[in-house]
Structure formats: C-alpha cells, structure tokens
Structure 1
Amino acid sequence: MGDRALPDFRTRRPSPALLRVLGMVLAVVLSTATGCAQSAGSEDGDSTAGLSQQAVSSASTMLDRFVADGHAPGVVVEVSTPDGVWTHTAGRSATSPDTPMSAQLQHRIGSITKTFTTTLILQLVQEGKVGLDDPVSHYVGGVPDGDRITLRMLGTMTAGLSEYLANPDFRNTFFQDPMRVWTPAELLEASYSLGAQFPPGTDSDYSNANTVLLGLVVEKVAGAPFGDVLTEKILRPYGLDHTVWPVDGSFPEDHIFGYTSLDPAHDVTDSTSWSPTQAYSAGQMISTAADLTQWIRLVGRGALLTPELQSERLRWLPLGDNDDNWHYTFGLEENSGWIGHNGAVPGYMSYAVYHPGLDATIVLLINSDAAIDGEPPVNVLLRDLSPVLFPEQPVRVPVVR
C-alpha cells in the first residue's frame, strides 16, 4: 500500500498519472471505521416514496449491513419521488458518546459544493456579467495560461490545471495542522507549482483548482465574499435553511461527526473539526439530507437557469474518460441518466443525484472515508443500493480505484 492522501473530492475515474501521485481517493486507506451499530430505522414514518415494500425492506437491510460490516459508523439515505420521501438511518452519528444517527443532522458535503459554485457562475452568465468562454485572466490574475483557460474549461474540468491535493508539500502541511485556515491563493499555488497536466481544452481531468478559481471569479464579479454571494443568490431565496458556508471547522447546528482513515498518525481519528478551508469553493460547504434532496432536484430540473443555459450546462466533450454512460458537464456528473455529484472531505462522504425522467432523487451521507476494495465507500454503496431502489434505472457508478 502506498502513502495516504487527502480525498480529492473526485467523482470521476482518475487518469493513470494522477493515480501514481495520489493512489486515488481513499484507495490507500489502511483501515475501516471501527465498530458496528444497530439501525436507527426509517425516520419518515410510513412513507415509502412509492417504492415497493420489498425494495424498502431490501434497501434497509443493505444499509444496516453496511454499518454492521464496519464500513462506516453511520449512514443516512433519503429517496424522493413524486409519491413522497423515504428516509432511512443506520448506526451512529458519533461514537463517543455513542449517539444514534439522525437524518436531521448537518454533514460536510465536500465536492457537492461544486454544484453550488458552478450554479453561481451560470447565474452570472444569465445576468450578462460573465461569459462561459471568457478567459479566466479577465477576472483572476496569475493563472498559468490564464488567457487560454476559459470559465467553461474550468467548470468542465478541461483546463489542464493540476490537482493541488497531489502536491506532497500541501498534504504534509495539512496533516501537520488540520485546523489551519487556508486561503484560495495558497491552494492555487500548490496547484501551479506542479505545472500543467495538459494544454487547455485538449483533455479532461478532475482538479479542485478549477472550482477554486471559479469561486474567486464569483467574488470578483459580485464584489462580495463567496459565502455572502452564495447565501444571497441561492441559500436564502430557495429556503436551504440548514445549508451553510462555514468560516472555520465548527458547525452551526447539531451535526454528524466524521471519522477519517487518512491521518498518517492514526488508523481512525475524529476529523469533525478539521478546517474545511482546504477545499474553499470546491468543497467547503455543510448541509443536510433534506436540503440536498431539495437542492439536487432544483439543479437537475434547471430551476435556477433558463432552459438554454441548462442545456449548455449539460453539454460535454468526448475528452479524457468522458463517455456516453458517465461524463462530467459544467460542475455536474451525468451518470446513466442521473445528474448530480459526490463529495469527500476527511471523515465525510456524500452523494446526491436526480433523474429527470423519474423526477427522483437519491441522497447518501456516510461519516467515514475508509475505502472498500480500494474504492470510495459512497460510490460502492450507491452502485449497490440504486438497483434495489430503481431496478429499471440504476446509477451505474463506474468502478474507481
């Protein structure tokens, strides 16, 4: 097994080059989260969201077994359809003191933050304040090849900027002081110092530096801090009352505790209060299962954008590992008809997807990052769970190791 690495918030299959550096998200985690727990049961009364009783029973058993097998201290699943909402929790939100999992608790959502950041950019496009094909150099200075890298390339992961989490100096510094507050400029410098992966627009590879830059573009154009713009343009008007942009490692409400296997000094350690600023507009946010259900439906329906701009958002190019089944669009992955994103920060993993044809959502929250056969646990769980819930339209999550 190789060196441990920070999660890189990716949803896609990695390039061999980045695999050699990072070993892939969580692929080198040495141990699973400790202990097993009993199911806390469904939190949504008798609602099954129109799912068959057999599907609900099988899904509940699978989720309880996921926890009992030690893959995570706890898990939250929320499924919505036009017929209602089904929510199931299993295990614990905290191991000391032992606390049952609850779907109402806040959770770090990692790269699902990207869906908010890219939506803000598209809102600015809609307002005529920026253009998708504008060079990023118009808004942020010091970007290598910034006059050739467009906002569209940043959102579609085709800009060629290196992943700053692949920088060993950055990783070492992070683990030496996980409470440290990082600036966006420091994150970008860790990317730039690695050099470019490829010329802008010629390939596709996931890099958090891209979405960090888009966050800075939002601040520059709006003339306000990113968190203020986010609250004013999305969180407040759409009633996402339990979704926040944290300024440090604390939570404003009762929350799920995170347990990471990535700290080189410990097999498993409590990462609840680690600074999320290592992710900025690529992964800093906090939310709940209910808010994410509402949000991913809004995003999937294009409710915040014109139909034309939503179509632009869902465009993709046959570059890198994009194919008909899985491809990365503008801040979203489209996976066998499901639109959404996953997220990972130390100790927390999440997934939120929406299917336009079914008008259905699936949201998963897990308070562990311990790999399963070299894969992020949230990917494995969604791949296994979705055929039980929607046998005709499963989420065919690619195998990522």
Structure 2
Amino acid sequence: MSHSSTRLRRGAVVVTAAGMLMVPAAGGTAVTLPPSAPVAADPPSPSPSGDEVRALTPAVQRQLDATVQRIMREADIPGVTVGLWTPDKGQYVRSFGVADKSTGRMMSPDLYMRIGSETKTFTVTALLELADQGRVGLDDTIDKYVSGVPNGDRITLRQLAGMRSGLFNYSEDDDFFKALTSDPQRPFTPQQLLDYAFRHPVLFPPGEKFDYSNTNLILLGLVVEKASGMPLADYIQRHVLDLVGLGHTLFPAGNEFPEPHAQGYTDQTATGKVEDSADWNPSWGWAAGAMISNLQDLRVWAPTVATGRLPHGGYLISPAIQRQRLTTPATPIPGAGYGLGIFDVQGWIGHNGSLPGYESLTIYLPSARATLVVLLNTDINYKGQEPSTVLGDAITTIVSPDHVFNLPAEPAAR
C-alpha cells in the first residue's frame, strides 16, 4: 500500500513528502481567557511529588514559546495554537505563525479547525450515553444493528470502540485513497466506506489484539443512528454538544467550514504536492473524523470526556460506564493504553486527530487537573512523526516531565 494511504489511515485516526512549507518568523499572540471558563470538577489524585505540573511562570512560558517556535521552524509548520490550563499553576495560550500562507493572515486562538479523529470521542460518547440508557449493550454483537459485517456475530460494540475488532481499515485501501485524492470534494456514504473495508479479509479474531481502524467507528456511528432513530450528527448535537455547552463544535454535512478558520496544508494529494485542503469534504471520515471545533470548546471537552462530568455539575456519562471507558488494556504502544475511543498516554487522557491539512491534540491530566490543546494547520510528517505528537511530547516534557505525551509515530502498527 502507498505511504500516503497509510497516513490517511492515521489521518482520521488519532491521533499522522517532500513538500516544503514556507513559515514566516513565528510571532506569538498571547490571549488571556477568563478563569471562570467551565471545566469539569474532578478532584486531583494525590501524587508522590505533589507537583504534577510546573508552575507556568514567565520563565516557563518563555521556554514554551521558544520550544514551539523551534519545532515550527524545523517541521515547516505554518501555524499553531497551544492552550494549557491548570487550576493553580497558571495558563498559557499562544498562537504562532500563519493561518493562510497566501495572505499572511495570522494564526489566532479563535479559529475553527478540523479535528479529525477527536471525532471518535464524540461518537463513542454518544454510544456510551445509549448504553447508560439501556438502549444498546456494549457486549452486543454488531450484527444486531448492522448486517453484512465480517465476523459480525462475534464482534462486540466494546471491541469496536476499543479497536480490537480485527476489521480492515477502509482508509488503508488503495482504491479509497485514489478515489479521495482524485476528487477531494466528493462525498462518501458510510456504506461506501464499509465496502472498501469489507472486501479485505479480517486481520485476526475479534478481541485478540489492538489494531486502530476507522472502520470500527463508521459501524458505531450506524449503531447510534439505529438505536436512537436520529442521524448521527443530530444526536451528537442534541445529546452531547448542547448538553456540554460546546457552541463552536459541529458535525458538518459536507465541506462547510465556519469562519474564521485556518487554511490547511497537506501533501496527501494525487500528485504528492502540497495543497490547501480547507474545502475538502470530510465525509470520508464521518463518525471517525469529520468534526470541527475550536480551542475554547476543546478546553471544555478535554476534562469532560476524561471524567464523564459535565462542566456545570452532574454527569455526561455515569461513573460505572465511564470506568469502563477508561479501562485501557495493554496495546503495542509503550506507555499507552486505549480504552473505549480514548487514549491514556503516560497519564494524559484524551485523543489526537489528523486528516489532510489539520492536526489536533486534546488531553487532560486528572492528577493535576491540567488540560492541553494543540491545533495545527498541517498534517505533513516531521521525521516520520505527526507534528501534533512532536509538539505534545515537547510541551509535556517541559510542564509535566513525569507525564510525557510520547505517543509513537505509528500507534496502530501491527
């Protein structure tokens, strides 16, 4: 399979060439957000050191500025926004570089961004809500809801959400890659995506091991629709986004993209040359990767999805179901576990996202009640790694050296 189709596999993934991007000297824009912005109230766990996150003093902030700008220069990243918040150590919100290379418009914290595989956290939340209501069972097999799935009488919803189904990932299929890159604005239906997956043999018996597959989330999106009687986008809007208060997060029907947004730059193209992908249709990611959000909403979502608690009190997901969500069996990824649509990497809980032109990282460290959000307008690899992961690693090395987000470049490699 092509290198590019492998990257698309990760692209609606969590979480990943030769194009060179011109980046002007990165000037940082500091923005102070109100300390009253809602976050889920989850008490910190005691830590041996009592100092899970360093105080964000002016010296530490200057160190973060220098580190982010260095990585931007080395990785040819056009624009980046970083937000880091703690209840008692301070906060750091900066934008660097450009949102649009053609006009020189600067990156800023208020921009809408495509968030790729962070969509998975919303789709799985919808599924878990339905499980809370008894409308689905996590140990139901998928054939109860969707027909024609290989091993459908053996694969459970829990295995789909935990990336342990054994189903082939449609975004690894070479014909899918050709179809997408030959006409990036074309729409895909969920069934078309499944058709790409199901023409391949299953990779292993259900539950045998971890293997990241976007196919799993397409199926779970269909389960949400079948069990709720609502289109997935409508269910997520009414029962997740509205409930949490995320007014700048949406599940687009096509390639619509609210203003203001950053342009996105990718080399996952038919020619391999860098193109602006802002108007590409993300329907190919659907329940696995189509959503849009911004920094402030992701700041609220990070502790909400990690704790199951609503920002203003009460529960989005019951504690019993949330415990199941956060049960993260071993994976081939050193230091990382994957629960039900969510990572735990060295204590940081959340997800990353990547699709052509955009990458994101939204994670929460419960022991320090710290939230980190990173948003970029490129998905072009740097030394074989996703640039969002490079930044997440570097930032957490500075602020939480005992909890470094060091997700490897190939988290789903078999």
TM-score, normalising length from structure 2? 0.88
Residue in structure 1 matched with residue 86 of structure 2 by the alignment: 81
Structure 1 contact 137–147 (Cα < 8 Å) conserved = yes
Q: CA RMSD in A?
A: 2.0
Residue in structure 2 matched with residue 307 of structure 1 by the alignment: 319
Counterpart residue identity of residue 159, structure 1 = S
Residue in structure 2 matched with residue 374 of structure 1 by the alignment: 384
Structure 1 contact 34–70 (Cα < 8 Å) conserved = no
Structure 2 contact 117–352 (Cα < 8 Å) conserved = yes
Residue in structure 1 matched with residue 328 of structure 2 by the alignment: 316
> 1:146: Cα distance to partner?
0.7
Residue in structure 2 matched with residue 346 of structure 1 by the alignment: 356
Counterpart residue identity of residue 143, structure 2 = S
Distance in 1 separating the partners of 2:55 and 2:293: 25
Counterpart residue identity of residue 19, structure 2 = S
Counterpart residue identity of residue 27, structure 2 = S
**SS class of match (2:76):** coil
> 1:40: Cα distance to partner?
3.4
**SS class of match (1:4):** helix
**SS class of match (2:235):** helix
Structure 2 contact 84–370 (Cα < 8 Å) conserved = yes
Q: Structure 2: where are the runs of 5+ without partners?
A: 36-52, 310-315
Residue in structure 1 matched with residue 239 of structure 2 by the alignment: 233
Q: How does 1:210-289 map to 2 (within 5 A)?
A: 210-289=216-295
Residue in structure 2 matched with residue 183 of structure 1 by the alignment: 189
More displaced 10-residue stretch of structure 1: 39-48 or 201-210 = 39-48
- Establish whether residue 383 from structure 1 lines up as the match of residue 356 from structure 2: no
Deviations 1:72-102 (A, max 9, x none): 1100001111135321110011111110001
**SS class of match (2:322):** helix
> 1:70: Cα distance to partner?
4.9
Distance in 1 separating the partners of 2:34 and 2:363: 23
Q: How does 1:39-54 map to 2 (within 5 A)?
A: 39-44=27-32, 50-54=55-59
Structure 1 contact 81–361 (Cα < 8 Å) conserved = yes
Counterpart residue identity of residue 389, structure 1 = V
Distance in 2 separating the partners of 1:3 and 1:326: 24
Residue in structure 2 matched with residue 95 of structure 1 by the alignment: 101
Question: CA 1:396–1:375 in 2, change beyond 3 Å: closer, same or farther?
Answer: closer
Distance in 1 separating the partners of 2:214 and 2:34: 41
**SS class of match (1:236):** helix
- Establish whether residue 34 from structure 1 lines up as the match of residue 37 from structure 2: no
Structure 2 contact 385–409 (Cα < 8 Å) conserved = yes
Counterpart residue identity of residue 24, structure 2 = C
> 1:63: Cα distance to partner?
1.6
**SS class of match (1:39):** coil
Structure 1 contact 64–90 (Cα < 8 Å) conserved = yes
Distance in 2 separating the partners of 1:33 and 1:147: 48
Distance in 2 separating the partners of 1:255 and 1:116: 21
**SS class of match (2:8):** coil
Identity of matched residues, %: 37
Counterpart residue identity of residue 354, structure 1 = Y
Structure 1 contact 271–346 (Cα < 8 Å) conserved = yes
> 1:212: Cα distance to partner?
0.8
Question: CA 1:165–1:308 in 2, change beyond 3 Å: closer, same or farther?
Answer: same
Residue in structure 1 matched with residue 41 of structure 2 by the alignment: none
Counterpart residue identity of residue 116, structure 2 = G
> 1:275: Cα distance to partner?
0.5
Q: Name which of 72, 78, 87 aligns with 2:77.
A: 72
- Establish whether residue 329 from structure 1 lines up as the match of residue 339 from structure 2: yes
> 1:32: Cα distance to partner?
3.8
Distance in 1 separating the partners of 2:340 and 2:33: 37
Distance in 2 separating the partners of 1:199 and 1:400: 22
Residue in structure 2 matched with residue 149 of structure 1 by the alignment: 155
> 1:388: Cα distance to partner?
1.2
Structure 2 contact 14–354 (Cα < 8 Å) conserved = no
* Alignment length (residue pairs): 384
Residue in structure 2 matched with residue 396 of structure 1 by the alignment: 406
More displaced 10-residue stretch of structure 1: 119-128 or 247-256 = 247-256
Distance in 2 separating the partners of 1:2 and 1:117: 29
> 1:44: Cα distance to partner?
1.9
Counterpart residue identity of residue 31, structure 1 = G
Distance in 2 separating the partners of 1:147 and 1:263: 38
Distance in 1 separating the partners of 2:370 and 2:291: 23
Distance in 2 separating the partners of 1:45 and 1:348: 24
**SS class of match (1:210):** helix
Structure 1 contact 35–70 (Cα < 8 Å) conserved = no
Residue in structure 2 matched with residue 7 of structure 1 by the alignment: 8
Counterpart residue identity of residue 181, structure 2 = F
Distance in 2 separating the partners of 1:72 and 1:158: 33
**SS class of match (1:7):** helix
Residue in structure 2 matched with residue 362 of structure 1 by the alignment: 372
> 1:396: Cα distance to partner?
3.0
**SS class of match (1:310):** helix
Distance in 1 separating the partners of 2:303 and 2:33: 22
Deviations 1:299-343 (A, max 9, x none): 11121112111111111333x5155x2011100010011101110
